[in-house]
Structure 1
């Protein structure tokens, strides 16, 4: 099946790889069928593309690549909504908000996308844990260290 995408032009996709989001994505509740597409030459980011609306597309990534101590706690009843019954079925992605200056782009750690990798279902879930933001900087500024310890 050939689809139009926001970032990658026309792309051939296999319908058996469609991810179903029964509740859509926050703010895009009418978008329920997505495909994960690789970005050529980039193994860190992917495109989560709505297969029916070419203008609905998200850059996503593995949040642990940017925040190693990221901790996702999703209640079992929320996981059951996308038929997750064992931890081996769980995939987690964060949605990236691109900035005009790429180095100022941010990652949504507060509302990750939870995937059932076995049954190809997904949902976005807002975490109850304190301390996470929708605007976590992808590239933190390096603090200059003082060498005044002499």
Structure 2
């Protein structure tokens, strides 16, 4: 007896990325809508491809599934600020269903203006994803040393 294990995919006509095929089992659902985007519940994490055709190790697109014109450029905050030490509220961890830190992945939203030397990163309100449950939430950190527009110390890879 043969079973088909191929994942079902959906096509998302991303304004930023063009047509993107998303595996339905990889869609991340937000616990609460991201600030300013009340109509988006599902997102896909898409690798950023550099100009030379290679995928970036630390930059991704968080592409809305329902609203193709909503896409955020996100990064691993430790790639740009190795000393980053986010503290999230217990209530946020509960909302995400996080029982251990190994299931969590943290992404910081980048603001990319026309001049690449002016890129900033939001370390104050990262997006925390429970990768096991595919559940995400943008959280405001308990520690107040981080801001929404930290200047980048160097290029994002």
Q: Would you call these one fold, judging by a TM-score over 0.5?
A: yes
Q: CA RMSD in A?
A: 1.2
Please list every run of at least 4 consecutive aligned residues from structure 1 whose deviation after the TM superposition is greater than 3 angstroms.
none
2:119 equivalent in structure 1: 105
What is the TM-score of this pair, normalised by structure 1? 0.89
Q: Partners in 1 of 2:122 and 2:106 — Cα distance?
A: 12
Aligned-pair distance for 1:80? 0.9
Which residue of 45, 48, 52 maps to 2:66?
52
Which residue of 58, 71, 76 maps to 2:85?
71
Aligned-pair distance for 1:43? 2.2
| Structure 1 alignment gaps of length 5 or more | 141-150
Report if aligned partners of 1:59, 1:97 keep a CA contact under 8 Å in 2: yes
Report if aligned partners of 1:103, 1:139 keep a CA contact under 8 Å in 2: no
Report if aligned partners of 2:89, 2:141 keep a CA contact under 8 Å in 1: no
Q: Give the length in aligned residue pairs.
A: 140
| Structure 2 alignment gaps of length 5 or more | 1-9
What is the TM-score of this pair, normalised by structure 2? 0.85
Aligned-pair distance for 1:83? 1.0
